[in-house]
Structure 1
């Protein structure tokens, strides 16, 4: 008798971005687990177990950079029985690409990802969104929290002020300044931790997503990343999400974005039925 037992889908590892606690992935985890996936959403090194715990001890994130974050997740993946699909938002999207290019992930989804080395355009909205950190060189060695007003511009520009402020209250945490400084200077640093092998890496499929109204990582920045992958040997897909800003993974429309990701995973045969 033939074995008709369905293949279990690959596990999902969610990676949050700067200023957002890992627990914001909770609704995504519930959705994916209802579809049969095993999920995890570990925080960055130095994150507390909760939003409030991280706010109470922000110094634990001082000087945490891109390299430390990548190694943290690589070590977690090394302890897993199989390589996961990594889904990252913002700086988590940059980390997801690095993990994929270096063989730690079976596939990756990068949603509004922080730019990789090689992206040379710098839209005004991106400068303004990063200014709370980059405006003071001393922030490279310490954590910085966003005010509700700063969050409204960088994350909640497509939302009502009330929804944006509610997300700020629920999910924001102080974030280390170092990753932003590392990303901002990547063009001028030979061995930048923001570098990703976009040309030669033989890897699993990658989906890049971008909210068309994003202020923090504008659409044209993600389009520039897509172009860097154009001549590579491995599959890279791009999906713009119309009318959405940087809050697209956690605002009231998060389910629409999550369904797009689930659909892509199914299309690529990564859901255990391919």
Structure 2
């Protein structure tokens, strides 16, 4: 890896610390890229520190987090490749639509404005937040059981619980409330410039068994880009859940990302 290498910025989603990207960062560095994985506003350097100060992540919304990454990208010498998971995938899409990125890969990305399907499994996955309207302005932590349903449903209980202990932090409730109200808000922060024809290429990745972002959401997201001639592609990993970036099969997903970037000559 050299200073002239293409920068790659990894963006995590709700309930996972940015350090969960560490294996990806190493793989992409070994592959000749210049990767980084900055946390969301309020995140501390380590999982333990972030867990110890859960209120530090409270009340940040989609636009707050997007602005945080805009500021990070502004410090780079060139547009990066963005790779985001869950709400990080939505933010990667937003930044790509705003021409802040050379390309983006959105993995099990949260629903953007215009996406209508809301499967029951997605509702159940977000119930820990929505069960209390006051959670919009609070930080919410999942239990191991809730994580197992939302992230680890395609894993053994043992692997799911191990990932929970290693990576899970509290998350702001506000992004979920904003996404849920997106189609009723003219200026929703979940809006993405899907019609931008001059943007870089976009790859959407979905896990076939994802409870939190079921395939119906990702397929509907793909349709939102139908009026743009820019490259937009979809890849499915059958039998994989929302944990696909951090579980034992992460390398298969990461390798697919590297292969796709090679096909795009990036």
Could you tell me the TM-score, scaled by structure 2's length? 0.98
Q: Does 1:143 align with 2:136?
A: no
CA deviations 1:137-188 (Å, max 9, x no partner) are 0000000000000000000000000000000000000000000000011010
Paired residues for 1:181-196 under 5 Å: 181-196=177-192
Match of 2:24 in 1: 28
For 1:200 and 1:244, the matched residues in 2 are separated by 31
- Given candidates 64, 68, 86, the residue that maps to 1:68 is 64
- Given candidates 168, 173, 179, the residue that maps to 2:164 is 168
Which consecutive residues of structure 1, in runs of 5 or more, have no partner in the other structure?
A: 1-5
For 1:258 and 1:37, the matched residues in 2 are separated by 13
Q: Does 1:102 align with 2:94?
A: no
Which consecutive residues of structure 2, in runs of 5 or more, have no partner in the other structure?
A: none
CA deviations 1:97-151 (Å, max 9, x no partner) are 0010001100000000001000011100000000000111000000000000000
Match of 1:37 in 2: 33
8 Å Cα contact 2:112/2:179 also seen in 1 = yes
For 1:159 and 1:244, the matched residues in 2 are separated by 8
For 2:44 and 2:73, the matched residues in 1 are separated by 20
For 1:63 and 1:201, the matched residues in 2 are separated by 33
Shift, 1:200, TM fit? 3.4
For 2:3 and 2:160, the matched residues in 1 are separated by 40
CA deviations 1:5-40 (Å, max 9, x no partner) are x99542110000000000000000111111111110
Match of 2:243 in 1: 247
Match of 1:217 in 2: 213
Shift, 1:201, TM fit? 4.7
Q: Does 1:11 align with 2:3?
A: no
Could you tell me the TM-score, scaled by structure 1's length? 0.95
